[in-house]
């Protein structure tokens, strides 16, 4: 079976707590229960991530984490893809590569440097079934 391309646009990254990013991979990787079909676990291949800073006067720092827990109790010492990356004011940071997330994984993120959610994330990749 061929992988399918997916694009998630403009999801906020929390500036107060470590949290799942817009429920990403929580909903898209839910395996439906088909009668008579034993579907294998779905996965996502992340290929491009863009983090946007909507502030015009101040940089923000962003980290992304991979966890099997959908809350802020993930190991914050284990950054995934971006680790304390500074995003300049009114600018963005791009990441290109290949990172696999299983159906049991969550993508978590947090931004620092402001008290409001002014950072968002866009993700491109592929969905597949193992």
Under a CB-based contact definition with an 8 Å cutoff, are residues 108 and 64 in contact?
A: yes
Under a CB-based contact definition with an 8 Å cutoff, are residues 39 and 31 in contact?
A: yes
Mean pLDDT of the chain: 76
β-sheet bridge partners, residue 4: 127
5 pLDDT above the threshold of 70: yes
What is the value of pTM for the model shown? 0.80
Q: How many CB atoms lie within 10 A of CB 11?
A: 16
Domain that holds residue 75: 4-31+40-129
Under a CB-based contact definition with an 8 Å cutoff, are residues 94 and 48 in contact?
A: yes
The pLDDT tens digits of the residues spanning 57-112 come to 888 888 888 877 766 555 555 677 888 899 998 999 999 999 988 877 878 788 88
Looking at residue 95, its pLDDT comes to 94
Tally of domains in the chain: 1
Q: How confident is the model at residue 130 (pLDDT cuts 50, 70, 90)?
A: confident
Under a CB-based contact definition with an 8 Å cutoff, are residues 24 and 87 in contact?
A: no
Under a CB-based contact definition with an 8 Å cutoff, are residues 128 and 6 in contact?
A: no
Query: What are the Cα distances from residue 47, in Å, to 9, 28, 36, 89, 123?
Result: 14, 16, 33, 24, 8
Q: How far apart are CA 20 and CA 34, in angstroms?
A: 28
Looking at residue 28, its pLDDT comes to 46
Question: What CATH code is carried by the domain that includes residue 95?
Answer: 2.60.120
């Amino acid at each position: 079976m061929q992988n399918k391309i997916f694009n998630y646009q403009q999801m906020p990254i929390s500036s107060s707590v470590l949290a799942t990013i817009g429920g990403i991979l929580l909903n898209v990787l839910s395996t439906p229960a088909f009668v008579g079909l034993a579907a294998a676990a779905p996965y996502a291949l992340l290929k491009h991530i863009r983090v946007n800073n909507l502030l015009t006067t101040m940089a923000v720092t962003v980290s992304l984490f991979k966890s099997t827990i959908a809350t802020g109790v993930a190991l914050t010492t284990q950054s995934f893809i971006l680790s304390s990356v500074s995003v300049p004011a009114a600018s963005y940071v791009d990441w290109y590569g290949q990172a696999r997330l299983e159906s049991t994984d969550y993508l978590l993120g947090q931004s620092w440097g402001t008290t409001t959610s002014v950072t968002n994330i866009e993700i491109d990749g592929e969905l597949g079934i193992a």
